[in-house]
Amino acid sequence: MSDIGEVCEPARSRRSGGRSARVAMRAAPLAEDVRPIRGGMPGGRYKPLDDAGVAKIHASALEALEVIGLSNAPASGVEILTGAGAVLGDDGRIRFPRALVEDMLAKAGRNITLHARDPKHDLHLSGSNVHFGTAGAAVHVVDLERNEYRDSTAQDLYDAARIVQNLDNVHFYQRTMVCRDVVDNKEMDLNTLYACLAGTSKHVGTSIFDPAHVADCFEMLHMVAGGEDKWRERPFVSNSNCFVVPPMKFAEESCKVMEDCIRRGMPMLLLSAGQAGATAPAPIALAIVQAVAECLAGVVYVNAIRPGAPAIFGTWPFVSDLRTGAMSGGSAEQALLTAGCAQMHRFYDLPGGAASGISDSKLPDMQAGWEQAITNSLAGLAGLNMCYEAVGMHASLLGFSLESLVLGDDILGQVLRLVRGIDVTEDSTSIEAMKEVCLGGPGHYLGSDQTLRLMQTEYVYPALGNRMSPKEWVEAGKPQLLDKAIARKNEILAKAGCMVDAEIDRAIRERFNIYFK
């Protein structure tokens, strides 16, 4: 046995050394166009609705708009909508003739680009291209280092944006938390917007609480852009606008914000967020009908103001746990709702967005992992253009975790690999590599050129996920996943700076009361 060991050991070392060198050579950063995953890859392989189901949902949505309509439009909205052909009833509800909806669908903007301040982060919303990002209005931060929930602040919002800037698989940053340390609503809108812009050069989504705040928000935007003309050339912020209060009622103040933002060149997220079993019907299909009807009303509204204005069809229905009435964002039903909505977006060929990745768990634990993985996977496989709330959200949107944001980047990497699917080509199905290994070769593929060539372009590896053997894990000191997430979060924040030019940052801080440092 000792003779065999003496013969085999040097050979094994030589093979290992040669392979290690080739592995190191191929571990260098890849060009964007050959990375195994990236934002904007086409999905759409998963379809929970058959063609008849899609057609039935469409027909029911049109019927709801004609028969039920929407109430509570502001006076400006009544003028805009009736001027386009909608009908104001004696009951104060605005009803939408089928022909009007179809005409406005024909005018609606398609194949739009959501710009980023850095063009490499632009989001091209066409077909079934998939992008993952954040969203929400959490009122708490899940503080893992203290193992507690605390009020979220403007600094937390800025820190989350800085982390997103450094995560490959989070493609945009929409407001995640409420700045609860900012009491004045106008200052909150301004701090929300600037915390996002200062933290990342990716596309930003924000909300504006009051129509009276719009002008100052755009003053800030023009300062960051370098003037109004440059803003209008590349609008890098979209307005997340809850223009409806389900069921089937306009939100007056939000509609006024929407009107002003559209005229100022800002892309719009038309957000309908009913909760199945509460503010939306309990059947999954009918919850989709209501969301589609509400968003179709939004399409008419937007295009009556400015034909072709960039708008995202934001069917965003949530799920109730019908035992309690509480929201259940991490459920299988939520995943189906989101995937069904993505199918309707494709039916209309409109850029679409919906919720995915929400966890009902209070901490980044196993429950959070399965909830985020299931809902994000179905959203991506269904070809959802904008997957909002995909990372970081806990306690059914009440809590946000910076560590979960970091961990979620790993989850999204695996989800994007599912979205990419299996490449079937002449090269990937050729048996030449099998012949080399099996007919007089080493009997395995570990060191083959094909294996090494594909190790980065075909396979995706977690940054924090642990694939050690038990022996290796013990020898490494039994590392824990959450400890690694805390360390990674702190490492990013220690290095990440402000993404706004220092002179502009000073001018903004002199003009507005900014709460974060």
Please write the tens of the pLDDT for every residue from 138-184.
999 999 988 999 999 999 999 999 999 999 999 999 999 999 999 99
The one-letter amino acid code at 371 reads: E
Strands (E), 12-158: 41-42, 87-88, 94-95, 112-114, 123-125, 129-132, 140-143, 148-151
Specify the pLDDT at position 20: 61
For residue 118, give the DSSP letter. S
Specify the pLDDT at position 145: 87
Higher pLDDT pick, 351 / 440:
351
d(CA 229, CA 234): 9
Give 3's pLDDT tier (boundaries 50, 70, 90).
Answer: very low
Specify the pLDDT at position 254: 98
Burial 94-123 (b: 16+ CB within 10 A, else e): bbbeeebbeebbeebbeebbbbbbeeebbb
The angle, 0 to 180 degrees and rounded to 10, between the axes of the packed helices 214-225 and 185-199 is 20
d(CA 391, CA 103): 37
Higher pLDDT pick, 105 / 12:
105
Mind listing the pLDDT tens digit for each residue in 263-273? Answer: 999 999 999 99
3-state secondary structure 292-344: HHHHHHHHHHHHHHCCCCCEEEEECCEEEECCCCEECCCCHHHHHHHHHHHHH
In the numeric block, which tokens belong to residue 513?
A: 């009361």
CB 161 within 8 A of CB 381: no
In the numeric block, which tokens belong to residue 391?
A: 């990372």
The one-letter amino acid code at 146 reads: R
Nearest-5° angle of CA 499, CA 503, CA 507? 100
3-state secondary structure 173-221: EECCECCCCCCCHHHHHHHHHHHHHHHCCCEEEECCCCHHHHHHHHHHH
Q: Is the pLDDT of residue 18 over 90?
A: no
Lowest mean pLDDT among 83-97, 130-144, 426-440: 426-440
237-241/203-206 β-pairing: parallel
d(CA 513, CA 516): 10
Specify the pLDDT at position 28: 61
Helices assigned H by DSSP within 68-140: 75-84, 98-107
Specify the pLDDT at position 34: 79
In DSSP terms, 174 is beta-bridged to 205
In DSSP terms, 271 is beta-bridged to 314
Q: Is the pLDDT of residue 330 over 50?
A: yes
Q: What is the largest CA-CA distance in the chain?
A: 99
Nearest-5° angle of CA 347, CA 351, CA 354? 90
Mind listing the pLDDT tens digit for each residue in 426-481? Answer: 989 999 999 999 999 999 999 888 888 888 899 999 999 999 999 999 999 999 99
The set of residues, in sequence order, having a beta carbon less than 8 Å from that of 82 and lying 6+ positions away, is: 88, 94
Q: Is the pLDDT of residue 406 over 50?
A: yes
Specify the pLDDT at position 24: 58
Give 49's pLDDT tier (boundaries 50, 70, 90).
Answer: very high
Which residue, among 299, 297, 298, 341, has the nearest Cα to 318 in the 3D structure? Answer: 341
Once rounded to an integer, what is the mean pLDDT over residues 479-506? 97
In the numeric block, which tokens belong to residue 74?
A: 């502001």
Specify the pLDDT at position 12: 40
Q: Is the pLDDT of residue 15 over 80?
A: no
SS3 state of residue 139? coil
Place of tokens 């223009």: 243
Give 14's pLDDT tier (boundaries 50, 70, 90).
Answer: very low
Once rounded to an integer, what is the mean pLDDT over residues 104-133? 98
At 491, give phi and psi (nearest 5°). -65, -45
Specify the pLDDT at position 182: 98
Mind listing the pLDDT tens digit for each residue in 355-377? Answer: 999 999 999 999 999 999 999 99
Specify the pLDDT at position 19: 54
Number of H helices, E strands in the chain: 19, 20
Q: What is the mean pLDDT of the chain?
A: 94
Nearest-5° angle of CA 204, CA 161, CA 163? 135
Q: Is the pLDDT of residue 10 over 60?
A: no
Once rounded to an integer, what is the mean pLDDT over residues 242-246? 97
CB count within 10 Å of CB 127 equals 17
CATH 3.20.20.480 describes domain 109-421+498-511: yes
Q: Is the pLDDT of residue 21 over 90?
A: no
pTM higher than 0.85 for the full model? yes
SS3 state of residue 499? coil
CB 355 within 8 A of CB 318: yes
Mind listing the pLDDT tens digit for each residue in 67-81? Answer: 999 999 999 999 999
Give DSSP secondary structure letters for 240-263.
EE--B-SSSBB-HHHHHHHHHHHH
Domain ranges of the chain: 51-104, 109-421+498-511
